[in-house]
Amino acid sequence: MSYTIGLDGGSTYLKGALLKGRQVVETMVCSTGIDNNGSAEQMLGQLCQKAGIARSDIRYTMATGYSRKVLTVADDDISEITAHAYGVRVTAPKEYRPGMIIDIGGQDSKIIYLDSGYNIKNFTMNDKCAAGTGKFMEVAAQILETTIDQVGPLSLESTAPCDINSTCVVFAQSEIISLIARQFDRKDILAGMHISMAKRIVKMMKKSEKNGDILMTGGGALNVGIRKAFEEELMKDVYVASYPQFNGAIGAALIASERA
Amino acid sequence: MASENHISQYSPRQRELFIQKSTRVAASYLRRAESLEDPPEALRPFFDVLGRIFVDLEDVPKPVGMKTVGTYCVMVPSELIWAAGAMPVRLCSGSYTAYTIGDDLVPRDACPLVKSVMGWEIGASPLYENCALMVIPVTCDCKKKLAGMLEQWKPTVTLHVPSSKERDADMAEYVRELYRLIPMLEEVTGRQVTSQSLAEALNQKGYAQYEMSRFLAYRQNNPPLLHGTQVMAVMNTFAYMPPLEWAECMRRLNDELEQRLERKQFAAKSNRPRILVTGSPIMYPNLKIPLLIEEMGGMLAADETCMGERALYDPLTVTDRSFDGMMRALAGRYTRPCTCPTFTDNRQRIFRIKQMIKDHQIQGVIYHVLRGCLVYDYEYPVLEEELEKEGIPIIRVESDYNEEDVEQLRIRIEAFIELLKLKQFSEQKARGTA
C-alpha cells in the first residue's frame, strides 16, 4: 500500500493530509502565509516525519485549493470541487450516503451535488463576496472578543437570535458593532450571524434536490452553530464529515492514490 | 434624422483613451483565439475582418459607395437589406470598454450587451457611425428600451417579433412587419426592392449556406479539425462580410479542412471533453468563455448561440417564387427554426440542443447567462432537467462584460472539465476499454 499526500492551499490555511491507500495517516494545518510553496515544502517534510516515513515513500502529491497552481512541490493539481467530492468517499460517516456537500471555506462556499456513485453531478459557488464563508466567522469572532472555536458553542446558548441583514462582510461587521452598542448579548448576535450565513448559502442551493444526505465539509463545518442554522433553514438533517477541514486535502490525496 | 450631439458629450482625450483601451482588449482576444494550436491558414481572412473592424476601427469591407444598415438580432432578414442595395451589419456589441461607458447610460440591472452598445455613442467606430439606419427587433425589454435610446443617435426602426410561433395571426403580423421595413430601406438607398433583387439576395445567401452545411460536417469530426473558439469568431464575421465573399472564404476553409482530414491533422486529440455552449449571445471580443473552455483542456465542439451556428445552420426554402412567396419564406426562415427564448413556448430549443448533442457527440453543456439576461436564465432549469434524463452534465455560468470574473469562471469551467474527464474515464472502465 503506497503513501500519497494531498495539499490544500486555501485562502487562509494550508492543509495537508497523508494517506496510506484510503486510510488517513496524518493531517496538518498552518497559515497559508505569503510563501505558499515554502510552507507546503515544510509541511511535506513534517508530515513524513510525524508518520515516520521517508520523503521517497510518497508516491504522488496532489495540490488543490486557491493556490494549487503555485504549489510546485506537488506532482499535479486538481480543482477544489473535484477534491471535495472525492474527499467524502473517505470522510463521510459510514451510515450516510452524501448527495449534497456544503463546503464552507475561508473565502468561498460551494455546494456540490453527487450521484449514488459519488460522481459530481453539478455544483454552485458563491461569487466575489466573503459573507457566508469562514472569513466572516473569523471577523465576527474578533469583534465579539472570542475565538473561532468558541463561536459555535456560544451561539447554541442563544434563546433570541438577533436579526442580521447585511450580506456583505464589511457591512455585517458594522451591523454587529451597532448590535453590541445596543447591548445585545454576544450569544444572540452569534446565533443571528449563523442564521444569516445559512440563509445566504441556502439561496445558492437547489432546494428540490432530494437524493442522499447533506454533508458539511471545510473548516466552517467545525462550527456547530452553523450546522444547526442549516438544519433550521433546510428543515433537514445536516451531517458533518470527519476531518472536515482536511476534506479537500484528503480528496486530493485520494485522487493521487489513483495515479500512484 | 437624429443629430451628432451624442459625440460632443465626450472630450477628444476621452475618446482617444477609449480607442486605446478598446483596441488593446480586442487585439488581445484576437491573439488568444489565433494562438490556439495549429490554426488553419484559411482562418486568416476571417481574423483579418475582425481585426479591421475592432482593432483598426475601420468600416466593414463593403462595396464602394454602399450604405450600411445596422441590425441588433439574428431575426432581421439580411436578404431584405441586401435586396434594397445596402449592407447589413450586426451591432450587438461584446466590447468591455464600451460597456464601461454604457454602464452610466442604462439601469444597473440591464444586460451588458445593451450597455456595451450604448457605449459606442462615444463615436469611435465607423461600424456604428456610418450606419444609415438601425433595425432593432423587440426580443426582450432591454432591446425595446435600447431602441428608444438609439433613436436619439441614429434613425431607428423596431421590428416586432412574434411571441409565439403557434398562432398564424402572430406569424402574419411578422410578415407585415417585414413589408413595413421595405420602404424604409428603400429610402436609405434610393433603390427599390424588386422580385429580382430579392431573388438575387436569396441566392447569394444560399451560397453561404451551402458552404456552411459542408462546414458543419467537418465540425462534427472527432478528433476535432479546429477549435470552437475559432469557429465562433468565424461565425461572427458573417455579420460583417458580403455573403459571396464570406462563402468564398468558407470554401477555402472547407477545402483546407478536407485536406487536414485526409492527412489526419487534427486541432487536438479526441480525449478532450466535447462541450457545447448555449445561452446568452457571445460576441467578439467577449470570447472569454470559449477561450477558457479550450485553454483549460476542453473542446468547444458546438455552440447553440445567436451569434454562432444558429444564424446559418438551416437554409431558406422557397416554394412559391412570387415576391410575396419569398417574403413569407423569409419570415418563416427567421422565426420558425429560431430557438431564441423570446418565444413563450420554446420546447424547440430543447430538441435542437438534444439533436446537437447527438450530432456533435457532446459530453457536457455549459449554459452561459449574461448578467441581467432573464429570458435565457428562465430556460436553464428546464434544460437541466431534460439533460439529466439523458445523463449529460450541464452547468450554469454567469458572466459580465469585464475581466474581473475570469478567475471565478475559470474554477467553474476547470472543475466541469474534470467532472467530464472523470465521467469519461469511469464509463470507459465500465466498458473495459480503459
Q: Which ipTM did the prediction report?
A: 0.78
Which helix or strand (DSSP H or E) is residue B301 part of? strand B299-304
Distance from CA of B81 to the nearest CA of A (A): 43
pLDDT at A196 over 60: yes
Mean pLDDT over A163-189 rounds to 85
pLDDT at position B2, please?
42
Q: Is residue B223 reached through a cis peptide bond, with omega within 30 degrees of 0 on the bond before it?
A: yes
- CATH assignment of A95-241? 3.30.420.40
Q: Do A122 and B393 touch (CB under 8 A)?
A: yes
Surface-to-core class of residue B107, CB atoms within 10 Å of its CB (0-12 exposed, 13-18 middle, 19+ buried): exposed
Mean pLDDT over B49-53 rounds to 97
Which grid coordinates are listed for A142? 474578533
- Answer whether A123 touches B (CB < 8 Å): yes
pLDDT at position B202, please?
96
Which grid coordinates are listed for B405? 470574473
Which helix or strand (DSSP H or E) is residue B279 part of? strand B274-279
**Chain A residues within an 8 Å CB radius of B418:** 78-79, 81-82
- Percentage of chain B modeled with pLDDT above 90: 85
All structural domains of chain A with their residue ranges: 3-81+247-259, 95-241
Mean pLDDT over A226-230 rounds to 93
pLDDT at position B130, please?
95
Lowest mean pLDDT segment, chosen from A209-213, B304-308, B318-322:
A209-213
Which grid coordinates are listed for B341? 427564448
- The gap between the terminal CA atoms of chain B, to the nearest Å, is 67
pLDDT at B3 over 60: no
**pTM reported for the whole predicted model:** 0.88
For residues B46 and B426, what is the distance between their CA atoms, to the nearest angstrom? 40
**Under a CB-based contact definition with an 8 Å cutoff, are residues B387 and B376 in contact?**
no
> Are β-strands A109-114 and A120-125 bridged in parallel, bridged antiparallel, or unpaired?
antiparallel
Q: What is the pLDDT of residues A52-95, one digit of tens each?
A: 999 999 999 999 998 898 999 999 999 999 999 999 999 998 88
**Chain A residues within an 8 Å CB radius of B369:** none
**Chain B residues within an 8 Å CB radius of A70:** none
Suggest the residue from A67, A68, A82 to mutate for an interface test with chain B (most B CBs closer than 10 A): A82
**Under a CB-based contact definition with an 8 Å cutoff, are residues B331 and B160 in contact?**
no
**Under a CB-based contact definition with an 8 Å cutoff, are residues B389 and B300 in contact?**
no
pLDDT at B7 over 70: no
**What does each C-alpha distance from B236 to B90, B274, B287, B347 come to in angstroms?**
9, 21, 11, 26
| Amino acid of residue A87 | G
Look at the block and give the residue holding cell 467545525: A222
Q: What is the pLDDT of residues A85-105, one digit of tens each?
A: 999 999 998 888 899 999 988
Distance from CA of A122 to the nearest CA of B (A): 7
Three-state SS at B394: strand
> Other CB atoms closer than 10 Å to residue A165's CB: what's the count?
11
For residues B101 and B97, what is the distance between their CA atoms, to the nearest angstrom? 7
> Are β-strands A58-64 and A23-31 bridged in parallel, bridged antiparallel, or unpaired?
unpaired
pLDDT at position B340, please?
92
Q: What is the pLDDT of residues A107-116, one digit of tens each?
A: 788 999 998 8
- Percentage of chain A modeled with pLDDT above 90: 62
The sign one gets for the Cα dihedral B31, B36, B37, B40 is negative
User: Going by C-beta distance under 8 Å and a sequence separation of 6 or more, which residues neighbour residue B145?
Assistant: B106, B110, B114
Q: Do A120 and B411 touch (CB under 8 A)?
A: no
> Other CB atoms closer than 10 Å to residue B130's CB: what's the count?
14
Look at the block and give the residue holding cell 452547468: B395
> Other CB atoms closer than 10 Å to residue B48's CB: what's the count?
16
pLDDT at position B312, please?
80
Chain A segment 51-90 residues within 8 A of B by beta carbon are: 78-82
Distance from CA of A207 to the nearest CA of B (A): 13
All structural domains of chain B with their residue ranges: 5-431
Of B415, B417, B414, give the one whose Cα is nearest residue B363.
B417
Lowest mean pLDDT segment, chosen from A163-167, B33-37, B146-150, B246-250:
A163-167
Pick from A121, A122, A127: CB nearest B408: A127
Q: What is the pLDDT of residues B109-138, one digit of tens each?
A: 999 999 999 999 999 999 999 999 999 999
- Answer whether A208 touches B (CB < 8 Å): no
- On average, the pLDDT of chain A sits at 89
Pick from A79, A117, A121: CB nearest B411: A79
Mean pLDDT over B34-57 rounds to 95
**Under a CB-based contact definition with an 8 Å cutoff, are residues A124 and A204 in contact?**
yes
Which grid coordinates are listed for A153? 458553542
pLDDT at A169 over 90: no
DSSP labels, B36-48 = SSS--GGGHHHHH
Mean pLDDT over B316-335 rounds to 93
The sign one gets for the Cα dihedral B273, B278, B284, B289 is negative
For residues A200 and B167, what is the distance between their CA atoms, to the nearest angstrom? 43
User: Residues in chain A, how many?
Assistant: 260
**Chain A residues within an 8 Å CB radius of B414:** 79
pLDDT at position B1, please?
36
> Are β-strands A98-104 and A109-114 bridged in parallel, bridged antiparallel, or unpaired?
antiparallel
Position B328 confidence tier, pLDDT thresholds 50, 70, 90:
very high
Q: Do A121 and B393 touch (CB under 8 A)?
A: yes
The sign one gets for the Cα dihedral B181, B182, B185, B186 is negative
**Chain B residues within an 8 Å CB radius of A82:** 415, 418-419, 422
User: Residues in chain B, how many?
Assistant: 434
Closest chain A residue to B396 measured between Cα atoms? A124
Q: What is the pLDDT of residues A114-160, one digit of tens each?
A: 988 888 988 988 765 655 577 788 888 999 999 999 999 999 999 99
Name beta bridge partners: B369.
Answer: B398
Which grid coordinates are listed for B358? 447527438
pLDDT at A210 over 80: no
pLDDT at position A138, please?
86
- On average, the pLDDT of chain B sits at 93
Pick from B404, B412, B426: CB nearest A119: B426
Of B310, B308, B327, B309, give the one whose Cα is nearest residue B318.
B327
Q: What is the pLDDT of residues B241-281, one digit of tens each?
A: 999 999 999 999 999 999 999 999 999 988 899 999 999 99
**Could you tell me where the beta strands, DSSP code E, fall in chain A?**
3-9, 13-20, 23-31, 58-64, 76-77, 98-104, 109-114, 120-125, 213-217, 238-240
A3-81+247-259 has CATH 3.30.420.40 classification: yes
- Answer whether B296 touches A (CB < 8 Å): no
- Answer whether A122 touches B (CB < 8 Å): yes
Cα-Cα-Cα-Cα torsion A57, A62, A67, A73, nearest 10 degrees, comes to: 30
More confident residue, B102 or A137: B102
